[in-house]
């Protein structure tokens, strides 16, 4: 049976491993700010936009601090979370980290031995805010690479997800190759191949399957404009090109399994390639 999600037990193992790592640093508590890190440790995924969103380890307990509009989302998706603190909105008259400071000190009662993945909440989409030390009034060492280093060595569930991703990426690429013909448009072909492969994928994997991540579709394949003379330009952009005989084509395909992606790239030709 194909894997479509990371088992709950795997997240628990990752949390226990992470706790041992921070204990080795002399810490009992830790603030996680990167959405990918939060997903890796808990299985919870969301689109934080510019709003501060944090996972807080207090000894063996996990806690969250999120926008009010995400509070129920976290409570439903991560029922093992001990405390879920929230704030009304960002930007607002009172900065979210003011509420965060009260959450850490008054509800979690953390006073020391705390570290963080970053100096402050993640600065994306226009967010601006003070460093954690400024609002918490305590010394707070930064360890930005701890979870990234954990992620480098893939566990068996991750490997299974990537293999399943590769299987569906290959299917999307197979359809891309089938639909590519002289006179066709790259956008139309890429859309059709991605759409048809995604339908096959969703049908086979069942109702429990869902792609994880911002703007994710099940699987896709395309050209990114690397067609004809533009095939020599790495990481090009879609150009609305029409395929012509003799074109060199550079393709890419992947699929989303539990937020994990593979990468399949190939070089193809419209018609028979020249000796050159």
Given this model, what pLDDT does residue 2 score? 82
Q: Which of the listed residues 99, 128, 152 is the one where a domain comes to its end?
A: 152
**Number of neighbours of residue 37 by Cβ within 10 angstroms:** 21
- Residue 33 placed within a domain: yes
In a shared domain, residues 162 and 245: yes
Per-residue pLDDT, averaged over 218-241, amounts to: 89
In a shared domain, residues 80 and 185: no
- Residue 48 placed within a domain: yes
Given this model, what pLDDT does residue 275 score? 78
In a shared domain, residues 93 and 167: no
In a shared domain, residues 20 and 139: yes
Diameter of the chain measured on Cα atoms: 73
Report pLDDT digits (tens) over 48-72: 889 999 999 999 999 999 999 999 9
Range of 87's domain? 8-152
In a shared domain, residues 178 and 216: yes
Q: Which of the listed residues 111, 132, 152 is the one where a domain comes to its end?
A: 152
- Residue 24 placed within a domain: yes
- Residue 60 placed within a domain: yes
Output b/e per residue, 180-216; b: 16+ Cβ within 10 A. Answer: beeeeebbebbebbbbbbbebbbeebeeebebebeee
HSE-CB for 118 with a 13 A CA cutoff: 17
In a shared domain, residues 175 and 235: yes
Report pLDDT digits (tens) over 101-154: 999 999 999 999 999 999 999 978 899 999 999 999 999 999 999 999 999 999
Which residue's entry shows tokens 């990234």? 148
In a shared domain, residues 45 and 137: yes
Domain count, the chain: 2
pLDDT surpassing 90 at residue 238: no
In a shared domain, residues 86 and 171: no
In a shared domain, residues 133 and 42: yes
pLDDT surpassing 80 at residue 229: yes
Tokens of 204: 């086979």
- Residue 198 placed within a domain: yes
Strand-pairing partners, residue 252, are 222, 265
Tell me what percent of the residues of the chain surpass a pLDDT of 70.
99
pLDDT surpassing 90 at residue 227: yes
In a shared domain, residues 24 and 126: yes
Indicate which CATH number applies to the domain containing 194.
3.90.230.10
Report pLDDT digits (tens) over 177-187: 999 999 999 99
In terms of Cα–Cα distance, which of 175, 178, 185 is closest to 243? 185
- Residue 3 placed within a domain: no
Indicate which CATH number applies to the domain containing 70.
3.40.350.10
Per-residue pLDDT, averaged over 200-215, amounts to: 90
Residues ≥6 apart with Cβ < 8 Å to 66: 46, 51, 53, 54, 73, 74, 84, 85, 86
Per-residue pLDDT, averaged over 63-83, amounts to: 96
Q: Which of the listed residues 104, 130, 152 is the one where a domain comes to its end?
A: 152
Query: Quick one: pLDDT band at residue 276, thresholds 50, 70, 90?
Result: confident
- Residue 235 placed within a domain: yes
Q: By mean pLDDT, which of 1-5, 53-57, 208-212 is the weakest? A: 1-5
Mean pLDDT of the chain: 94
In a shared domain, residues 26 and 136: yes
Return d(Cα 133, Cα 119) in angstroms, integer: 8
Given this model, what pLDDT does residue 269 score? 95
In a shared domain, residues 52 and 137: yes
Given this model, what pLDDT does residue 215 score? 66
- Residue 117 placed within a domain: yes
């Amino acid at each position: 049976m194909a894997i479509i999600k990371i088992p709950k037990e795997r997240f628990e193992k990752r949390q226990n491993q992470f706790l041992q790592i921070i204990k080795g640093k002399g810490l009992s508590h830790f603030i996680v700010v990167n959405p990918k890190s939060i997903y890796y440790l808990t299985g919870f995924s969301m689109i934080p936009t510019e709003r501060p969103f944090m996972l807080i380890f207090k000894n063996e307990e996990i806690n969250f601090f999120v926008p009010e509009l995400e509070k129920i989302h976290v409570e439903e998706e991560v029922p093992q979370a001990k405390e879920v603190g929230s704030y009304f909105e960002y930007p607002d008259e009172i900065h979210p980290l003011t509420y965060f400071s009260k959450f850490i000190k008054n509800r979690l009662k953390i006073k020391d031995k705390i570290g963080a993945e970053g100096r402050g909440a993640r600065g994306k989409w226009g967010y601006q805010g003070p460093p954690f030390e400024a609002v918490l009034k305590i010394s707070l060492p930064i360890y930005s690479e701890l979870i990234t280093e954990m992620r480098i060595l893939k566990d068996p569930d991750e490997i299974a997800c990537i293999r399943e991703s590769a299987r569906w990426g290959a299917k999307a690429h197979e359809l891309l190759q089938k639909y590519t013909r002289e006179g066709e448009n790259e956008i139309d072909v890429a859309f059709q191949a991605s759409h048809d492969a995604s339908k096959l994928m969703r049908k086979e994997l069942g109702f429990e399957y869902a792609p994880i991540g911002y703007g994710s579709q099940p699987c896709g394949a395309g050209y990114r404009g690397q067609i004809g003379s533009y095939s020599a330009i790495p990481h090009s952009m879609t150009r609305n090109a029409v395929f012509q005989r003799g074109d060199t084509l550079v393709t890419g395909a992947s699929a989303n399994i539990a937020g994990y992606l593979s990468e399949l790239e190939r070089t193809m030709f419209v018609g028979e390639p020249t000796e050159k």
